[in-house]
Structure 1
């Protein structure tokens, strides 16, 4: 158990007021024992990562006609981000269409010529060699049509690339090029989109903890990820209010660090978590036992063990022996001796003896902690 040990009580003395008059009952502060879900969390330092992130690049070369977003804004998949001047690409499409029409006309002429020559061959007017030449001319014309159609498809595809859209939904950064700049496939990223609705938290599991988990699994006590409660504490000391889940744990130990990389997934609907941000990850059992929690300041210790003073009827106090378990924030879980609802003395405790009358005032109950 962590934390400071309770004070060791050896002897207590009491003073009387001058003249032999009895001193008034000592003033004490009491708190009501609360029953809480108690589990000892395992703590990790984690770093937030994006699950989806895309660098936006140009597929065709041309001058930027427009930039249709502001840096930092949210964008949806399919939304237009950039437009490249399409005039040259439109011209290439028109040229490709003309080539298709020309090739198709040549193919039709070759097909008619082939039909006539087949009829002549059937009448034995031309030789087989002459027919073969006409057949070859038709085959070339038909192939030229396919080549022209493929060129048209490529030209139309390049024209479609003049309008650059968002492949995923997320938050987009600043544009690295402004309107009027020449961009192309070698220009690098024009902008970057990061999906923030769901993020990962990367953390490292120590080798010792991993061995413990594997031993539990080997003995038949499998660790069910669905039975774990994952929570985060942010850099400003506040708690992130949306729970997460374990996504995966690597199957190899890093020999340099002696740890195993792991990932947890957290919903991030309000975009509080940002990639690169450091957080504290707490992992605990969901169905942890519920136990009474006593404030640390209420616990004393002597040779027989730990005890507290309970407030009873007529404002008298009595000792109660307890066994403590895990630390819970500024208190201890009690496994034996308390059931919850009792009033324990948390201040003025060093002056008390069994059966003493006191003047109690109410303090604040011990709260839940990480």
Structure 2
């Protein structure tokens, strides 16, 4: 009996295809599982961020404080007439420099010379009367001793002698006064300095009640006065610093540095309640006459001997609500916060009063990549070829 095959395949053949299909599905399933497992494997951790650091170091620091000051003349004299008369001559150039003893003005002398001659004549007359009174006294004294003249006559002669002596003294004083007034007709400079504008012209009547004829201002040396805050003065007094340990340097209005140095001479014993400051005054040479009275200048008070202080770059400083701090890198290359107290600025450096020790590594570039507690890859600033650390103001951050 023959078997009829329908659809072109026998039952045995269809079974063989089914086994192959199931085996292929298992292989595909295994491959899919392997690929999924490989996809879900964890990614490798990124390398630590690179930051630039520098070590806190000690440096010889010259402390300097800057103030705004004003130049003042050491001496200012208003030249006045001491006797009354007409101005006869002016012997200087307005705005020019004069020397001590130089004649500035002359007042007409004729009337004063006459007064001197009169006083000389009166003195001569008084001396003649004194000679006569002395002779009379001597003669009467002998007669009284010989008992040929009454004592009363000798007393009268002695009285006349005393009056004659007193009259001579009066006439001598009158002559001295006349000569003094004659000398006042020549008005001289009491010191070296610059003269200002003349108040009166030649021919004007001047006297003790007149305004000043001219103002004379001393030029060398000059004073420089500047206000120092009360808190700074208190700090200086607490540390026991002396004024002989500093010198004064000036910056002129054109921005140039004045060639000569000054010394502090005076500190006011009273503070200014309006500005809460104390006025300090320094003396400074002025041989080239570059400084003038009431000129505004920048005053720097600089310590003569430098001090060893710990410094870091200003670029390392950060600021938040708690104050100033730096990000330091410890021995395990972890970032730590260190709170600091800063001192004076030294160019691109800042003095560290507390919070750091010599050798501590602080971050000066790459702060945004450094997280407290995290690891970083520090590179010393001097190892960066051509890299210059950024300097500037303190950065403000939030932790």
Whether the 8 Å CA contact 1:174–1:191 is kept in 2: the answer is: yes
Q: Please report how far the alpha carbon of residue 270 of structure 1 lies from its aligned counterpart in structure 2 after TM superposition.
A: 0.9
2:108 pairs with 85, 89, 98, which one?
85
Taking structure 2 as the reference length, what is the TM-score of the superposition?
0.65
Aligned residue for 1:243, secondary structure, equals: coil
Structure 1 residues 77 and 281: alpha-carbon distance in aligned structure 2, compared to 1, 3 A threshold: same
Aligned residue for 2:162, secondary structure, equals: helix
Structure 1 residues 161 and 362: alpha-carbon distance in aligned structure 2, compared to 1, 3 A threshold: farther
Whether the 8 Å CA contact 1:45–1:280 is kept in 2: the answer is: yes
Residue number in structure 2 paired with 1:102: 125
Unmatched 5+ residue regions in structure 2? 1-47, 51-57, 319-325, 330-339, 353-357, 366-377, 392-399
- Greater helix content: 2
Residue number in structure 2 paired with 1:224: 242
Q: Which has the larger radius of gyration?
A: 2
Residue number in structure 2 paired with 1:219: none
2:139 pairs with 82, 103, 116, which one?
116
CA distance in 2, matches of 1:245, 1:121: 77
Whether the 8 Å CA contact 1:38–1:326 is kept in 2: the answer is: no
Whether the 8 Å CA contact 2:101–2:191 is kept in 1: the answer is: yes
Structure 1 residues 39 and 122: alpha-carbon distance in aligned structure 2, compared to 1, 3 A threshold: closer
Taking structure 1 as the reference length, what is the TM-score of the superposition?
0.70
Aligned length: 297
* 1:45 and 2:60 are equivalent in the alignment: no
Q: Please report how far the alpha carbon of residue 183 of structure 1 lies from its aligned counterpart in structure 2 after TM superposition.
A: 1.0
Deviations 1:290-338 (A, max 9, x none): 89999878x899x9549xxxxxxxxxxxxxxxx9985444x22699679
Deviations 1:29-74 (A, max 9, x none): xxxxxx9964352221111111122111111111111000011111
Whether the 8 Å CA contact 1:107–1:145 is kept in 2: the answer is: yes
CA distance in 1, matches of 2:343, 2:197: 53
Aligned residue for 2:136, secondary structure, equals: helix
1:236 pairs with 242, 254, 259, which one?
254
* 1:257 and 2:257 are equivalent in the alignment: no
Aligned residue for 1:43, secondary structure, equals: strand
Q: Which has the higher contact order (CA 8 A, sep 6+)?
A: 1
Whether the 8 Å CA contact 1:66–1:179 is kept in 2: the answer is: yes
RMSD between superposed Cα atoms in Å: 3.5
CA distance in 2, matches of 1:258, 1:296: 30
Instruction: Kindly report which structure 2 residues correspond to 1:254-333, keeping only aligned pairs within 5 A, or say none.
Output: 254-289=272-307, 304-305=327-328, 327-329=345-347, 331-332=348-349
Q: Please report how far the alpha carbon of residue 212 of structure 1 lies from its aligned counterpart in structure 2 after TM superposition.
A: 1.0
CA distance in 1, matches of 2:317, 2:269: 47
Residue number in structure 2 paired with 1:209: 232
Q: Please report how far the alpha carbon of residue 255 of structure 1 lies from its aligned counterpart in structure 2 after TM superposition.
A: 3.2
Deviations 1:186-205 (A, max 9, x none): 11211111111111111122
CA distance in 1, matches of 2:270, 2:215: 32
Aligned residue for 2:260, secondary structure, equals: strand
CA distance in 1, matches of 2:283, 2:351: 34
